[in-house]
């Protein structure tokens, strides 16, 4: 394949599929015993799929389309050289100007729609002021506000795939596309929500870095559309073959479930957590508000030695600490308030050095972008309340692939605080915290949460997911005796007769 042909890679989301990968995918389709009458590749690029299809399905009509004229000329040249039969036609056209339903209906069923649509989002396109964008933009019909909030930022590939699926929804079609894992899930959910006749749905994970030098979680989405058939379950395979089924995702009651097996086992534990999960403190200025201890003074994020009072500094942990099971902090956070909206100017009197420091660094804090700081006391922080200063915490990172809940106690007599990438529960009673910690690290809890977590998301663990587990129901499920045994194992010095009292006051 000639990879030196010119293209504006970013604008056209241009990541050409290597020949070997295209052959592997076409072979996989062949193994499903599917014989397409027509194969269509809507953004065919340099034609890796076209050429592989020509070899493995020599009797099918093949149609390739791409916006890039040089690519189309290149493929036609290849076809001429290889003296390929006349059943392959390649056209230079813009995806967004094509009436796909009418184009496809010119050819015979069953169809195979295969390919690798552009890897770019509408937000990226608007940054480069590109017109390579669909006109009817808001596919999911998000209401105005949500659209403004950025939910209408979607992958062009998602839009293209839905356009194609809507065009073939009443036909017998195998639909196979390389895309981001998150896009594949959205497309699958859309099909279930809109009752598109899917008989089989598979996702095969691929190594995007190996194939495309792209750092995303990617896959091959495989949908078999058959009139009259319907499934709301999609099987996820480890690689581009069916050797190892990882798990199944599915749509249940309109919600996308990350692990159907675990969901079926534990969805009766759904409800509301009796304790409120909180996110940590938001201050948007690591340089000014976070410190490590130097020999004599504290050192801020600007690497300056700072002399300020101890009173408003608290030991802190962040997501990466939690992900590495670290519970003994070596950073400190300056808390300018004890609850949201508190007047910060009292620091002038109560901690003059801290106030002087804040005034010196005011330019950093005053230019914090988020609108939440507007019309608030100067140097405000967020996510702060009585819960912040309780001594015992159970915390988890929202960002990392680690479903371990950590138990965190005070350091140097001060409660440890978390940053806003973490979630936590806080307690004033050590044993209460210990019991809840034991509950949260139980294998049932692990399976329960895994039924809702999509690990490739930017923030896989959310407050919503954490809140949905009813710990009372969980306690009943695990059984008091088991919980007591687990607790005794962790705390051999705990007197057994104390436990019923702790349990009684737990919720
Ligand atoms: C990710 S590449 C994949 C190319 C090819 N399908 C493959 O698998 O190697 C995306 C392709 O989409 C094409 N493309 C981008 N925007 C397009 C549009 N509006 N209409 C048709 N093709 C487009 C690009 O030229 C590029 O070749």
Q: Is any atom of ligand 1 closer than 6 Å to the C-beta of 15? A: yes
Backbone phi, psi, residue 286, to 5°: -55, -35
Per-residue pLDDT of 317-340, as tens digits, reads 999 999 999 999 999 999 999 999
| Ligand 1 atom, smallest distance to 178 CA | 8
Protein residue with its CA nearest to atom 17 in ligand 1: 67
Per-residue pLDDT of 450-499, as tens digits, reads 999 999 999 999 999 999 999 999 999 999 888 888 888 887 777 777 77
Q: Which of 67, 74, 135 to mutate to test the pocket of ligand 1 (most atoms within 8 A of CB)?
A: 67
Tokens matching residue 239: 């690689």
Sheet of 313-317: strand order equals 305-306, 298-300, 290-293, 331-334, 313-317, 417-418
What pLDDT does residue 503 have?
A: 76
Q: Are strands 173-180 and 111-115 parallel, antiparallel or unpaired?
A: parallel
Q: Which of 45, 103, 116 to mutate to test the pocket of ligand 1 (most atoms within 8 A of CB)?
A: 45
d(CA 428, CA 390): 5
Mean pLDDT within 7-12: 67
Per-residue pLDDT of 54-85, as tens digits, reads 999 999 999 999 999 999 999 999 999 888 77
Q: Is any atom of ligand 1 closer than 6 Å to the C-beta of 107? A: no
Which H or E element spans position 53?
helix 48-56
116: CA distance to ligand 1 center in Å?
A: 7
Q: Is any atom of ligand 1 closer than 6 Å to the C-beta of 13? A: yes
d(CA 113, CA 187): 15
Q: Is any atom of ligand 1 closer than 6 Å to the C-beta of 12? A: yes
What pLDDT does residue 5 have?
A: 57
d(CA 284, CA 306): 19
Taking 90 as the threshold, does the pLDDT of residue 287 lie above it? yes
215 touches 180 (CB < 8 A): no
Classify the C-alpha dihedral 341-345-349-351 as positive or negative. positive
Q: SS3 for 238?
A: strand
Mean pLDDT within 206-219: 95
Which H or E element spans position 164?
helix 156-168
| Prediction pTM value | 0.89
Produce one character per residue of 24-57: b if its CB has 16 or more CB atoms within 10 Å, e if not: bbbebbeeeeeebebbbbbbbbbbbbbbbbbeeb
Per-residue pLDDT of 166-196, as tens digits, reads 999 999 999 999 999 999 999 999 999 999 9
d(CA 28, CA 221): 12
474 touches 269 (CB < 8 A): yes
Q: Is any atom of ligand 1 closer than 6 Å to the C-beta of 64? A: no
Q: SS3 for 424?
A: strand
Per-residue pLDDT of 24-59, as tens digits, reads 999 999 999 889 999 999 999 999 999 999 999 999
**Which residues have C-beta within 8 Å of that of residue 68, sequence separation ≥ 6?**
5, 7, 12, 14, 45, 92
Q: Is any atom of ligand 1 closer than 6 Å to the C-beta of 257? A: no
214: CA distance to ligand 1 center in Å?
A: 16
**Cα angle: 209, vertex 211, 215; to 5 degrees:** 20
d(CA 19, CA 32): 20
Domains of the chain: 19-231 (3.40.50.150), 278-504 (no CATH)
Dmax (CA) of the chain: 87
What is the four-CA torsion angle of 242, 247, 252, 255, rounded to 10 degrees? -110
What is the four-CA torsion angle of 381, 383, 388, 394, rounded to 10 degrees? -140
Q: SS3 for 38?
A: strand
350: CA distance to ligand 1 center in Å?
A: 63
Protein residue with its CA nearest to atom 16 in ligand 1: 12
E strand residue ranges, 391-506: 392-397, 406-408, 417-418, 422-427
6: CA distance to ligand 1 center in Å?
A: 13
Protein residue with its CA nearest to atom 4 in ligand 1: 45
**Cα angle: 157, vertex 161, 165; to 5 degrees:** 175
């Amino acid at each position: 394949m000639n990879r030196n042909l010119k293209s504006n890679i970013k604008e056209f989301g241009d990541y050409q599929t290597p020949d070997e990968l295209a052959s592997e995918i076409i072979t996989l389709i062949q193994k499903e015993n599917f014989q397409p009458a027509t194969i269509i590749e809507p953004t065919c690029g340099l034609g890796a799929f076209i050429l592989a299809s020509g070899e493995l399905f020599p009797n099918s009509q093949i149609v390739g389309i791409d916006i890039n004229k040089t690519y189309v000329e290149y493929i036609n040249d290849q076809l001429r050289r290889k003296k390929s039969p006349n059943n392959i036609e390649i056209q230079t056209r813009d995806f967004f100007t094509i009436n796909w339903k009418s184009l496809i209906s010119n050819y015979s069923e069953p169809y195979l729609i295969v390919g690798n649509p552009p890897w770019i989002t509408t937000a990226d396109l608007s940054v480069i002021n590109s017109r390579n964008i669909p006109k009817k933009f808001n596919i999911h019909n998000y209401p105005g506000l949500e659209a403004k909030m950025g939910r209408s930022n979607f992958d062009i590939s998602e839009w293209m795939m839905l356009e194609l699926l809507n065009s073939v929804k009443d036909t017998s079609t195998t639909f196979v596309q390389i895309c981001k894992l998150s896009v594949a899930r959205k497309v699958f959910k859309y099909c279930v929500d809109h009752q598109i006749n899917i008989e089989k749905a598979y996702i095969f994970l691929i190594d995007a870095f190996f194939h495309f030098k792209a750092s995303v979680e990617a896959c091959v989405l495989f949908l078999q559309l058959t009139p009259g058939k319907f499934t709301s379950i999609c099987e996820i395979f480890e690689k581009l073959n069916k050797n190892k089924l990882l798990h199944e995702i599915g749509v249940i009651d309109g919600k996308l479930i990350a692990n159907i097996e675990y969901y079926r086992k534990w969805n009766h534990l759904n409800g509301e957590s009796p304790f409120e999960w909180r996110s940590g403190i938001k201050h948007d200025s690591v340089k000014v508000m976070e410190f490590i201890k130097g020999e004599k003074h504290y050192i801020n994020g600007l690497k300056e030695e700072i002399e300020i009072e101890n009173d408003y500094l608290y030991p802190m942990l962040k997501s990466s600490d939690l992900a590495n099971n670290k519970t003994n902090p070596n950073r400190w956070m300056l808390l300018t308030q004890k609850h949201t909206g508190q007047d910060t100017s009292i620091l002038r009197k109560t901690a003059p050095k801290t106030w002087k420091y804040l005034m010196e660094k005011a330019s950093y804090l005053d230019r914090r972008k988020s609108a939440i700081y507007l019309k608030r006391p100067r140097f405000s922080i967020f996510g702060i309340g009585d819960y912040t200063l309780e001594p015992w915490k159970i915390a988890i990172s929202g960002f990392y692939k680690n479903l371990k809940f950590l138990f965190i106690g005070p350091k140097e007599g001060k409660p440890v605080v978390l940053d806003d990438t973490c979630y936590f529960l806080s307690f004033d009673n050590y044993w209460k915290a210990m019991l809840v910690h034991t509950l949260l690290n139980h294998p049932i809890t692990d399976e329960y949460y895994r039924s809702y977590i999509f690990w490739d998301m930017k923030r896989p663990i959310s407050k919503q997911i954490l809140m949905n587990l009813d710990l009372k129901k969980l306690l009943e499920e695990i059984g008091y005796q088991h919980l007591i045994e687990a607790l005794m194992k962790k705390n051999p010095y705990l007197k057994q007769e104390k436990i019923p009292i702790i349990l009684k006051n737990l919720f």
